[in-house]
């Protein structure tokens, strides 16, 4: 079972996952993605960094949401290690529980998902 919890993007487990993601992106696209995302961007009060953990408490994935405007948020990072049972498991879990994730963050604003897929 995978659980999601609010975390600190500066935490060493978060840093390890970010570096793994950067290496994967570089291998696939030739660009690590570091110019498009920095941990410092998560300093916004309404930004949210979430770790996914397995039943042993090991960090096996991460996700980030950061505000773009007052009413629009961006799902910036969503990464899972090979330890996840199936491809996309974390991403599906993240979207399925997006409202709960916002509640964890004690956010008083809601992301606009009405334009997804358009």
Question: Could you report the per-residue pLDDT of 79-96, keeping only the tens digit for each?
Answer: 888 666 555 676 677 767
Comparing CA positions, the residue from 95, 99, 61 lying closest to residue 80 is 61
| pLDDT, tens digit, 9 for 90 and up, residues 23-53 | 988 999 999 988 877 888 788 777 888 888 8
| pLDDT, tens digit, 9 for 90 and up, residues 50-76 | 888 888 888 888 888 887 777 777 777
DSSP string, 52-98: EE-TT--EEEEEEEEESSSS-EEEEEEEE-TTSSSTTHHHHHHHHTH
Report the pLDDT value the prediction gives residue 78, as an integer from 0 to 100: 76
Report the pLDDT value the prediction gives residue 102, as an integer from 0 to 100: 59
For the chain, the domains span 3-104
Give the model's confidence band at 13: pLDDT under 50 very low, under 70 low, under 90 confident, else very high. Answer: very high
Report the pLDDT value the prediction gives residue 115, as an integer from 0 to 100: 47
CB 49 within 8 A of CB 6: yes
N residues, the chain: 118
Q: Residue 116: pLDDT above 50?
A: no
The yes or no reply on domain 3-104 and CATH 3.40.630.30 is yes
Tell me how far apart the alpha carbons of residues 11 and 4 are, in angstroms, rounded to a whole number.
Answer: 15
């Amino acid at each position: 079972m995978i659980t999601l919890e609010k975390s600190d993007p500066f935490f060493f487990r978060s840093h390890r996952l970010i570096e793994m993601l950067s290496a994967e992106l570089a291998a696939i696209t030739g660009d690590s993605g570091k110019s498009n995302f920095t941990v410092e961007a998560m300093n916004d009060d309404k930004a949210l960094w979430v770790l996914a953990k397995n039943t042993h408490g090991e960090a096996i994935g991460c996700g980030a949401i950061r505000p773009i405007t007052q009413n629009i948020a961006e799902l910036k990072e969503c990464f899972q290690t090979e330890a996840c049972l199936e491809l996309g498991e974390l991403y599906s879990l993240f979207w399925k529980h997006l409202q709960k994730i916002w509640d964890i963050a004690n956010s008083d604003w809601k992301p606009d998902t009405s334009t997804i897929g358009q």
